[in-house]
Chains A and B, each alone.
Chain A
């Protein structure tokens, strides 16, 4: 008997502690598959954020460091400058990247640091129990927007579009993890981003829309449906920039 879909070498074969329907497990696996396919597992250093994905280092079978909340791209850039031939990426949630770390992501992108950023947008702060994130769509109820997010609480921030105002970034993309077809597209985008880094071309970022059923108060199936029918309206999918 042959195992047709074995655990990637870059993934640790242990049960993940993420909630049912959470996108992090999928995204971790996609990163692992891509690194294996590019045969760079042994020269990769990942930077895990503060947030749900802080535990990413328990699931990846390559070198990983933690970073202070939001400073993730700085740590990644510091590593890459010292080890330019390694593959370095930061993996960040929406609070880490677009709220507390907004300054760091903008300036890291603006310097054209040759790193890849995997940006998980699940429209809320998962780890702390479902507060409003900078990416929470208008009208969405969270524990800190009990009546639904109003414009007075800020508009959802579209990160690839925002970074598209800068000269330096090479590749900016948004994909979704809500169904198998989109998962495959997401993987292709991640692979492209890592390839661009390996070619030494510069800063790449892939945003992945990801469900958070536990904090959205939905079943995993309804949460996927909500990504497809609602979230994509605020965050249109597709490549925002590719100047590779």
Chain B
């Protein structure tokens, strides 16, 4: 057993190589640079190809070519770079090309900052590029899970011939934790009956997304939709239950770790709280969220954004129970204390959440909140 103290970013490289990935192309961007640099070292050792591309656009299109030639491929980036990759993600979804993409999210919008964030949830889960498509989205919360999920991502990408997104954040990328680097059993070689490697002794093959014949594109979209429906069985989540829970907290990735600390504290003070952590963001564990939410009677969603996954939670519960939100945007991290206080919110009363709530509690470290921010938060919680 090789228990190793390793960074989240670096563990992704090790996991990719363990999963049979032999092609990586990437472009430097913080806070994911350790993936690119460790790939530069490890890929040649593993007999694979490493390319420092001229842009994220080039990186993902190099992966596009390598994948359609039959290689297991990975590219990694952080938020602004992920935006640049969306064109090719749409093409890959349309052409049914397997690829693993890592987005180590940083604060946005725009160039934002290099702090951890969860503000690319919509982009990863709802599409990101143009057209009707979905990507499987895995959200690790620990370095060990990043190791396992990266390998799982290759398995799923091959199985469904589809891009799979590993959605991490700057904290997880930079965090060092001990991990048993024991590879999962490598996924069986995926179907290669579609790859382009020269039409020797067979009919020539074609990969395209341009379907101009009347009705052809509609049929292709039904085919893709069928595949996306089949992906529903890949849903994964962790539910930490208590008897007679009076509140359900929903959080994923890094914010779920902070929420866990808050839940522990609440339980110690006698509060009955469930914690549900989606491990797949698409497919979203809607059924599990609905059942747990209705049992608890109220829900608090915690994210490092102004509220994105909360929309999927609300869709899941369909208005049956109140859902409140606590988030810190722009690369800020919530503290357990903040979440703990947000948990005391009682339905029917004025919601004491977010910055509004923070302003009333000066004992909480929140930094400086601009006046405009106060106004916005008061407006929305009134």
Question: Which residues of A are interface residues toward B (Cβ below 8 A)?
Answer: 41-45, 47-48, 54, 57, 60-68, 71, 74-83, 86-87, 103-104, 106-107, 111
Cα(A43)–Cα(B199), bound, Å? 6
Q: How far is the CA of A111 from the CA of B51 in the complex (A)?
A: 10
* Inter-subunit contact A43/B65 (CB<8 Å): no
A103 contact set on B, CB distance < 8 A: 54-55, 57-58
- B205 near A63 (CB under 8 angstroms)? yes
In the bound complex, residues from chain A placing their C-beta under 8 Å from that of B208 are: 48, 57, 65-66
- Please tell me which one of the listed residues A41, A75, A80, A106 contacts residue B61 in the complex, with CB atoms under 8 A apart: A75
Q: When chains A and B are docked, how far (Å) is the Cα of A75 from the Cα of B51?
A: 13
**A residues in contact with B204, CB < 8 Å:** 60-64
Chain A hits for B196, CB < 8 A: 45, 63-65, 79
CA distance A81 to B87 in the complex (A): 22
* Nearest Cβ on chain B to A87's Cβ, whole angstroms: 8
B25 within 8 A of A: yes
Jot down 27 A-B pairs with beta carbons below 8 A, ordered by A.
Answer: A42-B198, A42-B200, A43-B200, A45-B198, A47-B65, A61-B204, A62-B199, A63-B204, A65-B68, A66-B208, A67-B64, A68-B87, A71-B61, A74-B58, A75-B61, A78-B61, A78-B62, A78-B68, A82-B65, A82-B69, A83-B198, A103-B55, A103-B58, A104-B57, A104-B58, A106-B54, A107-B54
The 5 closest A-B pairs by CB, nearest first: A78-B65, A74-B61, A71-B61, A75-B65, A43-B198
Number of interface residues, chain B, beta carbon within 8 A:
38
Expressed in whole angstroms, the Cα–Cα distance for A71 and B71 within the complex equals 19
A83 near B197: Cβ-Cβ < 8 Å:
yes
List residues 49-81 of chain B with CB under 8 A from any CB of chain A: 49, 51, 53-55, 57-58, 61-71, 73
Q: Find A57's partner among B64, B73, B206 (CB 8 Å cutoff).
A: B206
B23 at the interface (CB under 8 A from A): yes
Most chain B beta-carbon contacts within 10 A, residue among A44, A81, A111: A81
| Neighbouring B residues of A83 by C-beta, 8 Å | 69-70, 197-198
Chain B residues within 8 Å of A106, by CB: 54
Bound CA span A35–B321, Å: 66
**Which B residues contact A (CB, under 8 angstroms)?**
23, 25, 49, 51, 53-55, 57-58, 61-71, 73, 87-88, 91, 95, 196-201, 204-210
Q: Which residue of A lies closest to B196 (CB)?
A: A63
B70, B87, B207: the one contacting A65 at CB < 8 Å is: B207
Task: Assess the B91–A79 pair: CB atoms within 8 A.
Answer: no
Specify the chain A residue showing the minimal Cβ separation from B57.
A71
> Which residue among B62, B197, B209 has the maximum number of chain A CB atoms within 10 Å of its CB?
B62
By the criterion CB–CB under 8 Å, are B201 and A42 in contact? yes
B23's partner among A65, A67, A82 (CB-CB below 8 A) is: A82
Interchain nearest-CB distance for A99 vs B (Å): 14
List, in ascending order, chain B residues with CB within 8 A of A68's CB: 61, 64, 87-88, 91
**When the two chains form their complex, are residues A44 and B198 in contact, meaning their CB atoms are under 8 A apart?**
yes
Q: Could you say which of B51, B54, B57, B68 contacts A79, with CB atoms under 8 Å apart?
A: B68
Known A75-B65, A79-B69: A107·B200 in contact at CB below 8 Å: no
Given the known interface contacts A41-B199, A78-B69, A104-B54, the answer about A71 and B205 at a Cβ–Cβ threshold of 8 Å is no
Report A-chain residues with C-beta under 8 Å of the C-beta of B87: 68
Specify which chain A residues have a CB less than 8 angstroms from the CB of B197 in the assembled complex.
Answer: 45, 63, 83, 86
Chain B residue at minimum C-beta to C-beta distance from A10: B204
> Which chain A residue has the least Cβ–Cβ distance from B197?
A83
Using A63-B197, A64-B206 as known contacts, say yes or no to A75 and B64 having CB atoms under 8 A apart: yes
CA–CA, A122 and B73, complex, Å: 36
Which of A66, A67, A81 contacts B49, CB < 8 Å?
Answer: A81
Residues of A within 8 Å of B209, CB to CB, are 66
Q: Give chain B nearest CB distance to A141 CB in angstroms.
A: 29
> Are A76's CB and B65's CB within 8 A?
yes
Instruction: Tell me the bound Cα distance from A107 to B55 in angstroms.
Output: 10
Residues of A within 8 A of B23 (CB): 78, 81-82
Given contacts A62-B204, A104-B54, A104-B61, contact A79 B198 (CB under 8 A): no
CA distance A81 to B209 in the complex (A): 23
Across the interface, A78 reaches (CB within 8 A) one of B64, B95, B201, namely B64
A-side contacts of B55, CB under 8 Å: 103
A65 and B206 form a contact (CB under 8 A): yes
| Contacts known (A71-B57, A71-B88); A82 close to B66, Cβ less than 8 A | yes
Residues of chain A contacted by B58 (CB below 8 angstroms) = 71, 74, 103-104, 107
Contact of B54 with A82 in the complex, beta carbons under 8 Å: no
Q: CA of A42 to CA of B196 in the docked complex: distance in angstroms?
A: 11
Q: Which of A45, A47, A54, A78 contacts B210 (CB under 8 A)?
A: A54
Given A43-B198, A66-B209, A82-B23: 11 more A-B contacts, CB < 8 Å = A47-B65, A63-B197, A65-B68, A66-B207, A66-B208, A68-B87, A78-B65, A78-B67, A79-B69, A81-B51, A83-B197
